Amino acid sequence: MRWVAGTSDGLIGSDGEAWLVGRAVTAVSWYGSGWVVLADDGDVARIHGAEVERIGSVPEEIGRAVMAVDRGALVGTSNARLAAVHGDGSAMIGSFDEADGRDTWYTPWGGPPDTRSLSAAVDGRLFANVHVGGILRAATPDGVWEPTIDIDADVHQVLADPVDPDHVVAATARGLAESRDGGTTWAFAIDGLHAPYARAVALDGALLYLSASTGPRGGRAALYRREPRSDRFEKCDGSLPEWFGGNIDSHRLAAGGGTVLFATEDGSVLLSDDAGASWREVLGGRGRISCVAVAASEGGGP
């Protein structure tokens, strides 16, 4: 299974490929036959094989998250905004700026919030996570964005199930948030976790992976797995250390096709091809890792 890691010195592939060398890669998403990438200066590019095609750049704000859509990409940005980037122009999405509850969004440190993660369900519904502002849902990028969860759940990443259009999960300060009705209602789960503070979540079929720690500064961080039809999390161990000092952060955990990988704060990428039972380091010494991604099946969605 192919995978990539976004680093402070370009995008690195599972076969040793390197793209955008010399530039920091902020976010990456699979788009069906390649990758869509957000670089630190706001440029958005599509990568297919050895070809790198610049799509455009984010206007006005700093890019934080990227997701491929028809003709281009959506980019979550600073100041809790959303941009559409495509070959014939780029613009901030006004309907996202007008979302209900915007005046209640905040950050614990007093600065402006960010649009931290984006995901699309297989039926086309879109989900955007604002930190701190909950999870918003819309049918189209320029449609009505409606809030779906208590903003004080402190959501760090939202992920729509690539198979079930009604299944949506999120890593939050209260553990895993999970919806079985497309984000209309949410339930929280922490059974088996040593601490509830969760930063990253990934799905591989019915297997779910979640990172957890004691708080925003990390400390006793670990990766957990939840088996199908189970309500309890099990800690991934194998060859992993008992605890990681820093958080396994949002966008630094990915899974698909039997492959699971995550990045640590010290710049290592660890991979498992047996559902988290054993691990090996597949990348290190390439600078800071900002994101990882696993390729979906050819022809699949982001």
Beta carbons within 10 angstroms of residue 37's beta carbon: 30
Q: Which domains does the chain have, with CATH numbers?
A: 3-294 (2.130.10.10)
The DSSP output letter for 244 is B
Distances from the Cα of 128 to the Cα of 49, 107, 240, angstroms: 29, 16, 32
DSSP letters along 147-209, please? E-S-GGG-EEEEEE-SS-TT-EEEEETTEEEEESSTTSS-EEE-TT-SS-EEEEEEEETTEEE
Predicted local distance difference test score (pLDDT) of residue 297: 55
Predicted local distance difference test score (pLDDT) of residue 302: 36
| pLDDT < 50 stretches in the chain | 298-302
Predicted local distance difference test score (pLDDT) of residue 300: 37
Predicted local distance difference test score (pLDDT) of residue 22: 95
Identify any residues that bridge with 213 across adjacent strands, giving them in sequence order: 197
Using CA atoms, how far apart are residues 173 and 197, in angstroms rounded to an integer?
4
Predicted local distance difference test score (pLDDT) of residue 299: 37
Predicted local distance difference test score (pLDDT) of residue 126: 98
